[in-house]
Structure 1
Amino acid sequence: MSDPKTDVLKKTPTDHEIHDLIKNRWSPRAFADTPVSDTDLQSLFEAGRWAASSNNWQPWNIVWGKKGSEAYDRIMNVLVEFNQGWAKNAPVLMLGVFDKKTPDGKDNFHALHDLGQFSANMAIQAQSMGIAIHQMAGLDHEKALKEFKFPDTYHVATAIAAGYYGGEVSDVPEDLQKEEKSERKRKKQDEFVFNGDYVQRADVSES
């Protein structure tokens, strides 16, 4: 019998040694039918809670809902159609929101970075629990802001689908199934790491 834990792993061609929780994390569009419990979600949110934050302002906010709930349907309704086509597989949907202002009303240029740290912490905690996290930019940001009654100083930055690894690729729209099975790719370090001045790199993207 195959091992579901290894069946869902993608090949990650790393150039240097990294932790398995990072190496094996990826963002599927298919999820197992296994429900995500409130206790599991609280662990994910707790991991995010302890992320680094500029001045400890913690500008992040998370809206969440489980499949079958009103909150889930409301989140689904602010996703773009492309993401709705596969996000319906996820047992949990979330929105990542941040306050654009500091407590004294100035622009907080680090707020999006801090929400990203929250999400990264949450994703690694999720990976340790066999839970996959798929973050999405494709949503109607203004509609989401109004739908969930956030003040105008807030921005809905991302949507997040969450659920246990192990879903059926056939549940994903046909044009995305190949991507579910493909090898992961990343830029090489020398394209974005500089021990000194920035140097523009030649375009090495594949045609």
Structure 2
Amino acid sequence: MSVENGDELELELFDSKLLQEIDFAKSPVSFPNGISITNPGESLVMRSLKISDFDKGYIQLLSQLTDTSNTTKEMFLERFHAMKNCKDTYYATVIEDTSTNQIIAGATLEIEQKFIRQCAIRGRIEEVVVLEEYRGKQLGKLLLSTLTLLSQKLGCYKLSLECAEDNIPFYQKFGFKPHTECYMVLRFRPK
């Protein structure tokens, strides 16, 4: 699949206006200096993932979490369009430093359609990451708060995430609690 025009490059995974509609006053945590969805910091913009973000370092950002070394632009485009076609399911949210045209943070809210609980929906937070040199600016906290509020706005009955044991205190600030269910994994490819 080739990308030939600028309009295609600016295609969003979901409509970023959805983020601006969130009542940030309901955030489970507080932020200093007026940090918010509409004001993440000087020269920073929070928005939906766009096709152009491949060239702005999105895959390199994700490499801080796991192996992304063989992800080509064609693979990215194919996955982006597949995710976009799953309406109301994927909310990959990024923070761009407009002074460098670089994606410096991101997180994804995934929505699962359920038959349980009167056909409810469940949210899952994935791939929370902040570029190392931008850590300490509360961007991870901002992303998590935003996606927590978005999951409530969308009507999720439950929101979950997986994290390293060292990160439990961070997520507890948002009301997450360790659960008695056991997390198990079966990998079909090497890490």
The two structures have a TM-score, normalised by structure 1, of 0.28
Greater C-alpha radius of gyration: 1
Higher strand share: 2
Higher RCO (CA-CA < 8 Å; seq separation 6+): 1
The two structures have a TM-score, normalised by structure 2, of 0.30
